[in-house]
Structure 1
């Protein structure tokens, strides 16, 4: 199955462009995991152990740490979903974390200011970091999903 969605046409403002691309990547990544078959969704696709469900679990933690200030003590562990987690559970957790992160971002008017309640990084840096991180792992997810069931596209 192949489906492709082109990058967003966002407004002219910097915040609109950054948030538009981040939203696009978030949606693309979630779509890669949605409907992926069990148990392959958690099966290591490469020697490093990377798997589709683990990528989404990791990005849930990245969103929470970056925008919500949550602490992560073992980043490597975030690349693996809990044994009892399934696709709907991890997707719901990711989407809830994204919604809460967007709520924080909705209150940020100055991209140069730090995220609320923090001394750094700037909102601009945080958005750029999440675009880079989500884009990187969305590319991994593209390859893994195609290996699982032939599904391609964004």
Structure 2
């Protein structure tokens, strides 16, 4: 969990010192902003750990359900930290049996993933988006590094 937690904090760190307006400002052609990345990762955490692995809820969440208009850095980071704590609790409850399959998959027709798979996927997903966050932050104000 420590490497995943490191990546999570790297993403959160990219929002340090930014205004809400700057955090909502897209700096790439896709329209992705730092605040959208945090919202997306919040949803991904909840979808894989709770919806897919534990089987909680009827439908997976969508990261674009609620517009970012009016969203604040503080609120989005708090929601992300809450999702992280919930995900870590799910992972800790599994104990050493990382190969036990979860309840269902987010991938149509896919097998329910093991906790090992979920953790590896979340490292990949969070690491990829941490790189996106690096680029967006550098474009916003020139800040580089973790």
Q: TM-score range by the shorter chain?
A: 0.7 to 0.9
Alignment of 1:146 with 2:134, yes or no, is no
Contact kept? 1:111, 1:122, Cα under 8 Å: yes
Which of these residues, 67, 74, 79, is aligned with residue 93 of structure 1? Answer: 79
- Off by >4 Å, runs of 4+ in structure 1: none
Match in the other structure for 1:3: none
Match in the other structure for 1:135: 127
Considering only aligned residues, what root-mean-square deviation do their CA atoms show, in Å? 1.7
Number of aligned positions between the proteins = 132
Match in the other structure for 1:72: 60
* Shift, 1:152, TM fit: 1.4
TM-score using structure 1 length: 0.79
Contact kept? 1:35, 1:87, Cα under 8 Å: no
Contact kept? 1:54, 1:81, Cα under 8 Å: no
**Aligned counterparts of 1:58 and 1:64: Cα–Cα separation in 2:** 10
The unaligned stretches of length 5 or more in structure 2 are 52-56, 105-111
Larger displacement relative to structure 2 (136-145 or 34-43):
34-43
Which of these residues, 57, 68, 92, is aligned with residue 106 of structure 1? Answer: 92
Contact kept? 2:43, 2:62, Cα under 8 Å: no
* Shift, 1:34, TM fit: 3.0
